[in-house]
Amino acid sequence: MTNGVDFDLAVERMFELLVRGDRDGTRAFGAELIRGGMTPRELLANVFWPVHEKLDQFFRNDQVTDLSYRLATRLLRQFAAQVGGALERPTTRTRSIFMTCGPCETEELGAQIAADLLESDGFRVTLAGGGIPLDELLSHAHALRPDVLCMFCSAPTDLPTVRQAIDHIRGRDALPDTQIVVGGGVFNRASGLAEEIGADLWADDPIELALVLSEEPERRMSQDQRTVGKQRKAA
């Protein structure tokens, strides 16, 4: 809660407006929250991000129609971009992040919100989005040589690409200075999965992601740790 605003209630109200495709109502409610003292960062992190997660969950569980899902995700992405543009960003940003995600609309939306929040925390972010062929993703990562390769993954169908990317980088000892970080719904739902596929770090949301990246910039998963993780998963 901030300045008397209950985040949970705000998420519920925003969700209701979005699934109805109520553009005027969504715009008015967002303005109301900001007038009440909510900062752009709080709106993104504590309202828009949870709404995005709820949309993804409801869609996977067939609790919203395709139409409501599309209305909500497109409308939320529009307003998230507007709010993201209002975030304060440090003039000097150091560590670089190359970010990709799965191809569905909520994954693109989540990656966009995450990228804006990470930029406001002082990171330089290159956001590719979803549906990138693996060879192009790897080629760009090799050319860019980012400090962090971050892959958001909400659906189990996204996992093969993430696994192949990590296996390629690890197997060839490519990008030894690049941290590999994963996040998103599928990793939140499957404990130990991120470790099993060889990620250096993982996080449930962008706020936690920024925190672990700042606290553990040198952490790398060793070959022994990756082997133990795979053995644990197989057992």
Set out the domains of the chain in order of their start, with CATH numbers. 7-85 (1.10.1240.10), 96-234 (3.40.50.280)
Q: How far is CA 192 from CA 22, 195, 225, 227, in A?
A: 39, 5, 12, 13
| β-bridge pairing 179-183 and 124-130 | unpaired
Q: Phi, psi at residue 129, to the nearest 5°?
A: 85, -155
* Predicted local confidence at residue 188, as pLDDT: 73
**Taking the chain (235 residues) in consecutive chunks of 10 residues, what is each chunk's mean pLDDT?**
76 97 96 93 95 92 96 95 93 88 87 93 92 91 93 80 88 85 79 85 87 81 46 42
Close Cβ partners of 21 (under 8 Å, ≥ 6 residues apart): 68, 71, 72, 75
pLDDT given at position 3: 56
Using an 8 Å Cβ cutoff, are 100 and 137 in contact?
yes
For tokens 């303005």, the residue is: 31
Between CA 57 and CA 19 the distance in angstroms is 13
85 by DSSP, 3-state: which?
A: helix
Q: What is the pTM of this model?
A: 0.85
CB 108 within 8 A of CB 70: no
Give the model's pLDDT for residue 4: 63
Helical (H) or strand (E) element with 121: none
